[in-house]
Structure 1
Amino acid sequence: MKILLIFLLILHKPIWIIASLVDPFVSSPQIPPFSPIHTTITMDASSPGIHVRDEQQKNDSHNKKVMVFVVASTALGAVILSLLSFWIYYTKYCSKSNKKNLQSSDAEKGVGLAPFLSKFSSVKMVGKKGCVPIIDYKQIEKSTGNFKESNILGEGGFGCVYKAQLDDNLDVAIKMLNCENQYAEREFENEVDLLSKIQHPNVISLLGCGSNENSRFIVYELMQNGSLETQLHGPSHGSALTWHMRMKIALDTARGLKYLHEHCYPQVIHRDLKSSNILLDANFNAKLSDFGLAITDGSQNKNNIKLSGTLGYVAPEYLLDGKLTDKSDVYAFGVVLLELLLGRKPVEKLAPSQCQSIVTWAMPQLTDRSKLPNIVDNVIKNTMDPKHLYQVAAVAVLCVQPEPCYRPLIADVLHSLIPLVPVELGGTLRVSQVTQQPANSS
């Protein structure tokens, strides 16, 4: 607009100024040009030929001024029209583009949770992608039986997970977080924000969230068979998990990680992959959960973030130098694979003040074919093809290499596991019906 005003002001100046700017050979009317010929003409007024020549010169000068005026006006008009067209285009399209980008940015961020959660008073459904349903605290309280202890499915660092049933007879799991400190609040917002954008068969589904004073609630789909940790190290000691079922769980987990690493933009690094965060539904389909510590590539400087994770699963380079990459998740996956293979916990106590990791204990025996069958979990011992056992052990060894550059990408791990899983369980292995009789754990 400022440029338009300047050009409009120019229009109010005398036309001879514009003409002189355009054609430097046209003189100003206020300062007559000095010409010896003209002086001669005015001295000899009695000559008719000279009068005709003088009149002709005046006509030529007038015509020239008119032509300059027309050219200058046309050029100026063209400039003004161009600027006006540009201004109209900018105000119409650029403002629309900025508005669209703003809406897109808001959709990507999901619900603005901090100022919003304290205002809802009933179940509120937001149908747009990137947003989540906000569930009233009274409904959460009612569905958990006032947080009855018998409904507790598990416990985490900031609270418990409860089994619940919403009014529409939908069975769900509700995680309660005590957000008296900023870390719990940050994990809550981070998890809701990420899960509101992620949809994959091997990633837990977010159904809603809520809040009440210092408490925050996240509502997930219910996973009937609990966590992999409970199945392996709980009362059943893995008796429900056959060799092929364990390979299916490993394959599902790898698929979930591949989605986070290669199909999410920006890339998502889980940062807390472990058996307790791998949940199993009624058919033992595995899904990744607990994204409170997850980060997106580019969201922050990964080399300067607060060290977080679970002992036994944390990659050496992250533990020692704070370096975090997708290979850190691959290391944790290798530890989970060892749990499935050996039935041992990631860290076991040897003495009150001494612990040993499964990686340190197993590594020398994993590469020795004569020793490997002896350390396999008793539940699955002698129930698999020895070649498949050696292959899985080799994959696990690569995943837990101390140097991240020697670890494979999760996509490579996935391709190695697919041929070991029967077709009906999501792999490509075609096998005849084999009767497997798992040994009872002692």
Structure 2
Amino acid sequence: MRRPSKKAVSLLLTCFWFVFGCSAIDTITSTHFIKDPETIVSSGRVFKLGFFSLDGSSNRYVGIWYNTTSLLTIIWVANKDRPLNDSSGVLTISEDGNIQVLNGRKEILWSSNVSNPAAVNSSAQLQDSGNLVLRDKNGVSVWESLQNPSHSFVPQMKISTNTRTRVRKVLTSWKSSSDPSMGSFTAGVEPLNIPQVFIWNGSRPYWRSGPWDGQILTGVDVKWITLDGLNIVDDKEGTVYVTFAHPESGFFYAYVLTPEGILVETSRDKRNEDWERVWTTKENECEIYGKCGPFGHCNSRDSPICSCLKGYEPKHTQEWNRGNWTGGCVRKTPLQCERTKNGSEEAKVDGFLKLTNMKVPDFAEQSYALEDDCRQQCLRNCSCIAYSYYTGIGCMWWSGDLIDIQKLSSTGANLFIRVAHSELKQDRKRDARVIVIVTVIIGTIAIALCTYFLRRWIARQRGNLLIGKFSDPSVPGDGVNQVKLEELPLIDFNKLATATNNFHEANKLGQGGFGPVYRGKLAEGQDIAVKRLSRASTQGLEEFMNEVVVISKLQHRNLVRLIGCCIEGDEKMLIYEFMPNKSLDASLFDPVKRQILDWRTRFKIIEGIGRGLLYLHRDSRLRIIHRDLKASNILLDEDLNPKISDFGMARIFGSNQDQANTKRVVGTYGYMSPEYAMEGRFSEKSDVFSFGVLLLEIVSGRKNSSFYHEEYFTLLGYAWKLWKEDNMKTLIDGSILEACFQEEILRCIHVGLLCVQELAKDRPSVSTVVGMICSEIAHLPPPKQPAFTEMRSGIDIESSDKKCSLNKVSITMIEGR
């Protein structure tokens, strides 16, 4: 027989190693263990297992995280309560078949701690689900990491409660973003009566999802209900569990319970490494369990947010009026059953008042009554004080205090509150009075409408002519053509002249390329800022029309509000709400005024600007790129809340558009991203760059352009030098250098540097930025070198098609209003 050649033997050995050697990279055994800083990766390269440290800590932990290079997204930690203090750690399989974390002295810091007679030759494999599975020599699974949850909830994991043993498997929050040991909050399922998801602070409820109807959690507003994959299952053997398996194969999803007790849903496109926040349990203050106390209900769109149910009044009126609503409400008029029990004359039958789109109260009892019988069943039961019928759940009723009721935007159930007959009678009288009043008002309005629509028609003709003249053909069709000038309230010129004392110089707030801005007060007492287009301005006219188109449909607490406009003859004016604290730069860069901007105020301003920008990019009806975000365009109201202003440079993006080009580069040098300043390309990441510059200015109290004649050229260059030297505290404004806030301030500097990276693809999206600032995204990647850290030739040369400025003056500058 012919002997194989050496080449063939070598090839055979190579294949043998590839098949058997490579198959072990996702597995550890007693002989194939990992030492710090080694890792193993699941076969599909989705998850990684190994040693890591958290930002702000030198401790070493063993954990599992998504296999990304730029963002460490940890889903499970082994030795979270006993960290290593050096890099001597080993993760191995012990002689008794357990997974163990050992330090350099061979002390056991953590163990899977299972007992199995077939433990010899055990192995642990990291799967693409993120599950670390320990198997005995027979291949039987004896322990799984997904059955021992940490702070993250991932597909195929089960969060469960056994109704017989009361044993719970819950998510447990970290103590802080740099300390994964057990925190104060847990999240799990409460299966009694009707299953619900809870977050507890210790043993007290902190958040509640509302009942599960077989498809959705009824108390969670519409944003989350539209997501698929969530399921609550009763295995009929005493265990009820929550799981999810999202059907979109192009995305990774995970839920994280933060140290603050907030459950955050995050997602990541498999094509990139940026995680974005999808949903959170802390959308508003009404999400806090029992915010308004017994028999009070919460509506985040009301002010104040708490009110008593109909037929009830505050239990402690003075505390209620001060905003302390925990005492709740009490019934004003006894029910029929209560009066009969007390021996009074026979009372008229109670009735029900209907509340729509409600998150129903906690402690619901379930009845098998049909929908038509649910009301009568409650009415016959003297202890029943409310009922609701919901498809998928059936008839629910309540007998004790009604707690944790919330008004939802469009989802939720119809809740019927039992009230005395006299309350119903008063309600009917109110309805009758309303009918009479409405009839009179309708008659009056019918006459006024003819006049109103005639004026609107005139305004439409003027507006359409102007929009047709100045619309930008490069802007998508779902922008300009859908927003008409006549949708804005029109204010008479004479009314504005009176409000500003005939545009007196004493009322002048500032001057921009468009013309002057005046302070005024309308006859009804409202303070306003009037932006008057200069008749001699050619550039300002286009900005004026652009601002009308962009901002007329925007409503957000962190955007300046456009009250109306005036177009009469040659006069063209925009009327805004007045900002008494002027623009941010007026205080931030003033050595005296900056003292009012303590760190808590500056952080509120940073967060507010971020949320305003998130609204423009993601949440508004139109996708808006601002293109001129800077300190002078951030206005401060009486409470120093920030408002983004000046949308003259803004552009509307189509739903599928990622970036656009322009031949006319306008804005303020120092805030413009390199791709926009050099090539005219702008996108959401252009605004992120400007936000990063603004963030570093707020933290340092220095202008980016103030470094122009210094060694570092820009504030970005100076910050980058300090980052490389690990000396970021030097950047912090001395007036806010307080020890208790240093970690938060340094985190903001880190986020700022991530925003100003040279390449747009390296910068995070604004939703990720907001999550980073608010510590909802715990782990930040290291930044790359920012743009404009060195002197560049030709950048400051003004040309006909690139208009820039190297000082505080720009074509869009408006002094504080």
TM-score of the aligned structures, taking structure 1 as reference length:
0.63
1:234 and 1:217 map into 2 onto residues whose CA distance is 30
Give the aligned partner of residue 403 of structure 1: 759
Q: Which has the higher strand share?
A: 2
Identity score, percent: 36
1:204-241, Cα deviation, whole Å (9 max, x unpaired):
11101113554421100111211111111236341111
Alignment pair present for 1:188 and 2:549: no
The aligned residue for residue 306 of structure 1 is 664
Which residue of 685, 689, 701 maps to 1:343? 701
Give me the whole-angstrom Cα distance separating, in 2, the residues matched to 1:180 and 1:326: 33
Which protein has the larger Cα radius of gyration, Structure 1 or Structure 2? 1
**Helix, strand or coil: the match of 2:575?**
strand
Partner of 2:677: 319
| Aligned counterpart, 2:612 | 256
Q: Which among 358, 361, 375 is matched to residue 731 of structure 2?
A: 375
- Change in CA separation of 1:335 and 1:111 when aligned onto 2, cut-off 3 Å: farther
> In 2, distance between residues paired with 1:110 and 1:131?
9
Residue 358, structure 1, aligned to residue 715, structure 2 = yes
CA deviation string 1:292-315 (max 9, x = no partner)? 110011499821341011111000
2:688 aligned residue (305, 323, 330): 330
**What amino acid sits opposite 1:320 in the alignment?**
M
Secondary structure, aligned partner of 1:201? coil
**Structure 1 counterpart of 2:494:** 138
User: For the structure 1 residues 339 and 111, does the alpha-carbon distance in structure 2 shift closer, same or farther, using more than 3 Å as the test?
Assistant: farther
Alignment-derived partner of residue 293 in structure 2: none
Counterpart position of 1:423: none
Deviation at 1:158, TM superposition (A): 2.2
Q: Which SS does the other structure have where 2:677 is aligned?
A: helix
Q: Secondary structure at the match of 2:761?
A: helix
| Residue 576 of structure 2 corresponds to residue 220 of structure 1 | yes
Is the Cα–Cα contact under 8 Å of residues 348 and 355 in structure 1 kept in the other structure?
A: no
User: Are the counterparts in 1 of residues 614 and 766 from structure 2 also a CA contact under 8 Å?
Assistant: yes
Question: 1:162 Cα deviation (Å)?
Answer: 1.4
Q: CA deviation at 1:350?
A: 5.0
Decide which moves more: 142-151 or 272-281.
142-151
Equivalent residue, structure 2, for 1:239: 595
CA distance in 2, matches of 1:214, 1:343: 42
CA distance in 1, matches of 2:684, 2:634: 18
Structure 2 residue 490 is matched with structure 1 residue 151 = no
Deviations 1:259-307 (A, max 9, x none): 1101234411001111111111111111111111100114998213410
Contact 1:110 1:130 in 2 (8 A): yes
In structure 2, what residue type is equivalent to 1:333? F
Contact 1:211 1:217 in 2 (8 A): yes
Q: CA deviation at 1:157?
A: 2.2
AA aligned to 2:720 is: M
Residue in 2 that maps onto 1:113: 463
Within the alignment, does 1:230 sit opposite 2:586 as a pair? yes
Deviates more, 1:268-277 or 1:379-388: 379-388
> For 1:293 and 1:116, how far apart are their aligned partners in 2?
17
Q: 1:192 to 1:355 in 2, by over 3 A?
A: farther
CA contact (8 A) 2:514 2:541 kept: no
> Compared with structure 1, are the counterparts of its residues 112 and 368 closer, same or farther at alpha carbon in structure 2 (3 Å cutoff)?
farther
The runs of 5 or more residues in structure 2 that have no matched partner are 1-455, 468-483, 777-817
Quick one: higher RCO (CA 8 Å, sep 6+), 1 or 2?
A: 1
| Distance of 2:623 and 2:464 partners within structure 1 | 25
Partner Cα distance (1:235, 1:158) in 2: 30
Aligned residue identity for 1:315: S
Matched, 1:418 2:768: no
Q: Aligned partners of 1:225, 1:395: CA distance in 2, in Å? A: 27
SS of equivalent residue, structure 1 residue 308: coil
> Structure 2: which amino acid aligns with 1:342?
S
Structure 1 residue ranges without an equivalent (≥5)? 1-105, 118-127, 421-442
Offset at 1:358?
A: 1.7
Specify whether residues 111 and 413 from structure 1 end up closer, same or farther in structure 2 by C-alpha distance, changes over 3 A only: farther
Which residue number in structure 2 is paired with residue 203 of structure 1? 559
Between Structure 1 and Structure 2, the one with more helix by share is: 1
The Cα of 1:357 is off from its aligned counterpart by 2.3
Q: Which amino acid aligns with 1:133?
A: P
Partner of 2:646: 290
What is the Cα deviation at residue 160 of structure 1?
Answer: 2.1
Q: Which residue of 1 aligns with 2:633?
A: 277
Give the secondary-structure state (helix, strand or coil) at the position aligned to 2:565: strand
The counterpart of 1:390, out of the listed 742, 746, 756, is 746
**1:193, CA displacement in angstroms?**
1.8
Q: What is the letter of the counterpart of residue 152 of structure 1? A: K
Deviation (angstroms), 1:148: 2.0
TM-score (norm 2): 0.35
CA pair 116-169 structure 1, distance change in 2 beyond 3 A: farther
Deviates more, 1:360-369 or 1:395-404: 360-369
Query: Residue 349 and residue 392 in structure 1: after superposition, are their counterparts in 2 closer, same or farther (change >3 A)?
Result: closer
CA contact (8 A) 1:158 1:179 kept: no
**Within 2, Cα distance between the matches of 1:141 and 1:130?**
21
Q: Structure 1 residues 384, 147: closer, same or farther in 2, change over 3 A?
A: farther
Query: In the alignment, is the contact (CA less than 8 A) between 2:616 and 2:622 conserved in 1?
Result: no
How many residues end up aligned between the 2 structures?
302
Q: Distance in 1 between matches of 2:683 and 2:460?
A: 25
- Structure 1 residue 367: deviation in Å? 4.5
Q: 1:150 to 1:287 in 2, by over 3 A?
A: same
Supply the distance in 2 between the matched residues of 1:323 and 1:185 (Cα, whole angstroms).
23
Selected match of 2:517 from 161, 167, 191: 161
Task: Write the distance in 2 (CA, Å) between the matches of 1:360 and 1:214.
Answer: 47
String of CA shifts for 1:324-362, please: whole Å, max 9, x gaps: 1000000000011011110001202655x9993221232
